[in-house]
A and B are shown apart, each in its own frame.
Chain A
Amino acid sequence: MATRVPAGGKRAARDGKRHETTYPAGLTREQVLELYYWMRLTRTLEERLVALYRQTKVVGGLFRSLGQEADAVGSAFALRPEDVLSPLIRNLGSMLVKGATPVEILRQYMAKGDSPTRGRELNIHFGDTARGYIGQISPLGDMVPVMAGVTLSFKMRGEKRVGLVYVGDGATSTGAFHEGINFAAVQRCPLVIVVENNGYAYSTPTRKQTLAKQFVDKAIGYGIPGEQADGNDVIAAYEVTKRAVDRARAGEGVSLVELMTYRRKGHAEHDNQSYVPAGEIDRWAKQNDPVDRYVARLRGEFAFSDAEISDVDERVRREIDDATDVAEHSAAPEPLDALVGIYASPPAEQPLWFRRGKRTTVDSSERAEGWGTFPASNGAASEGRAAREND
């Protein structure tokens, strides 16, 4: 797992005496602050991405998790390093917790040649089995069967590892969601399914998605336990997921967790949210922002000092600045790289015209001048964006 916040030690109270402060869900003081670090890192990284998007440095669309940082961070925090999760586009925080770095995210959004997918994929659609995350694809629900298979392999090999798959309220309507849960449930796979209920699938509100009163009710139909929690409370998200993870690790099979949250931005940055009732977004922003809520709790209930909190903010700002510098200086991908890597073995991976006779390998000396550079802020970039915003 990535660098964690250094241990803070027991705090000295204002009266100068040391107090035993207890923290919920069996968390330590260090972990309580660490949760804040991951949420702040997620939010600041996305704010930086917005700035880069406005400078047309983000290729394609920008998908934010504003207001949903707590559920992604809290749930992922319940996993161990050897566990595997599959995030959705609004679970950036979960990938950071599992070890994805800000520079990777920035390179990915800017379609750089040294991004995790070498410019082949967008946003957080990337994976690293070593760090324990598998990138999603756009057809929703598909990752549920895939994670059923990942966790089936844990069961078959007798490994005490757990898988977690995120789906949104929209994905619950797909056949793949149903087939994946049912398969995993019957096989008693060590899988946790997190339904992140943020109120909207693109423009479709939950009431048009399902007649079910709550998604957690669906667990009954699969014969698995289900629990619902406040997804904007990072500790509640951690606690409910941890229970499901513990059950999975103990060989008790699949659980469904519904985390209640709200999507404060549109489907992507271009979406003007004309379909949202007036005042709804403001109400969530002012009364139920997961980061603000947690900061208040850190200051009050957990008695962290302003300095301790601003130290985290400062550290995050520095990390994002450094990552942006590095990512902006990354090279664009080389066009010929688009032709390789489809298969493990080379013979069939190049198109016919390429294979036959003329050349069989990618030779950099054959590149025309200008290849491998992305013209900054030109027409091609905005065309690409328009095309991808439909994703």
Chain B
Amino acid sequence: MTEITYLEAIREALFEEMERDDDVFCLGEDIAAYGGAFKVTEGLSQRFGEQRVIDTPISEVGIVGAAAGAAHMGMRPVVEMQFIDFIANAYDMLTNYVATARYRANLPCPMVVRGPSGGYVRGGPFHSQNPEAGFIHTPGLKVVYPSTAEDAKGLLKSAIRDEDCVLFFEHKYLYRRIKGTMPTGDHTVPIGKARLAREGRDLSIITYAAMVWKALEAADQLEKEDGLSVDVVDLRTLSPLDDEAIEATTRKTNRVLVVHEDTRTGGIAGEIVARINESCFAWLDAPVLRVTAHDVPLPYAPQLEDFVLPQTSDIVTAARALAAY
């Protein structure tokens, strides 16, 4: 069986879902003839036509609003944000309109908004952000952020079939660096369930997206150099959070490190720490620690970006402090 990249896995999910269901269609900037800025949708318009793979004006509010309207009428739109940073333009439409539609007005919004996010690619301030935290604060939206090719495909298929709006974050650093072997048949991964990426006893790292790979690297190093056995939990879905998985790892190792690439203040790590505090305080042998980006807009120069974003060495340092507490 051949291996495919994280990016190809996303493309396969789009192809298969558009084959399976005529109501699924894609819309976004430069996604048809050009195949998208990262070529995720390459070949899609040749296969399904420009009626179902729609090149839109530069218009995030228009695109997300149109997707919501089509979703009300029973369609299943998949929106591409050229860079997920631009989702900020559609924040009003997503939080005020889409997230509340079912609750307020019994209007379902079965739609997906997907796009490349994250740093480590020297993209500078507007092509590197991780805006997920702003959306987990909004009831009515689901937020998914896979770290493996298998999950990218399986979760995107589940997102397209979901009856609610799912924000699907793709890590652009992983697009062509990570490969996986797709299970045969209709491969879906349930939204809301975390994955144990590595089994350990001494401490837990709870993380997601590209940080899963850095956490696994750190875990290898900690095992070799310190003899520490590390549990790595890949959240996969950020809203709803998998409380069971978070509690299980905490009760097992009693020491928890939460790692994310997003900035620290108001980030998801704060929410996870609070939940652990509420539900597992008696199981803790040390305060829950965080490794995150510094609280600055993401800079461009390699020396600056590498300093601002979390690195494997930061995770190792924090894990050692946690183990020694």
Contact = CB atoms under 8 A, between A and B. Distances in A.
A352 B275 contact: yes
Interface string A338-369: 00011111011000100110000000000000
A169 B146 CA distance: 44
A356 B275 CA distance: 11
Nearest to B25: A156
Contacts of B52: 156
A129 interface: yes
A89 interface: no
B139 interface: yes
B194 to A, nearest CB: 14
A148 B62 contact: yes
Contacts of B66: 145-146, 148-149, 152, 180, 183-184
A186 B62 CA distance: 12
Interface residues of B, number: 50
B54 interface: yes
B155 to A, nearest CB: 15
Interface string B95-108: 01100101111111
Interface in A54-98: none
Interface stretch (B67-75, B199-207, B297-305): B67-75
A186 B29 CA distance: 13
A296 to B, nearest CB: 39
Contacts of A183: 56-57, 59, 62-63, 66
Interface string A178-219: 011011101100000000000000000000000000000000
B65 A179 contact: yes
B67 A149 contact: yes
Contacts of B96: 137-139, 142
A228 B239 CA distance: 47
Q: Is the interface of A mostly helix, strand, loop or mixed?
A: helix
Contact of B93 (A142, A147, A184, A356): A142
A6 to B, nearest CB: 33
B69 A135 contact: no
Given A142-B92, A179-B62, A150 B69 contact: yes
A34 interface: no
B92 A139 contact: yes
A21 interface: no
Interface stretch (A99-107, A117-125, A274-282): A117-125
B133 interface: no
Interface residues of A, number: 44
Contacts of B163: 343-345
Contacts of A137: 96-97, 100, 104
A254 interface: no
A135 B62 CA distance: 18
B142 interface: yes
Given A344-B102, A345-B163, A145 B279 contact: no
A56 B107 CA distance: 30
Contact of B69 (A145, A179, A182, A356): A145
Nearest to B100: A137
A146 B69 contact: yes
Contact of B107 (A134, A148, A187): A134
Contacts of B65: 142, 144-146, 148-149, 176, 179-180
Contacts of A135: 104-105, 107
A127 interface: yes
Contacts of A356: 243, 279
B1 to A, nearest CB: 32
B180 interface: no
9 contacts: A117-B105, A120-B103, A139-B92, A145-B66, A186-B56, A341-B102, A341-B103, A342-B140, A343-B142
Interface of A: 117, 120-121, 125-127, 129, 134-135, 137-139, 142, 144-154, 156, 175-176, 179-180, 182-184, 186-187, 341-345, 347-348, 352, 355-356
Interface of B: 25, 51-52, 54, 56-57, 59-75, 77, 92-93, 96-97, 100, 102-108, 110, 139-140, 142, 162-164, 192, 239-240, 243, 275, 278-279
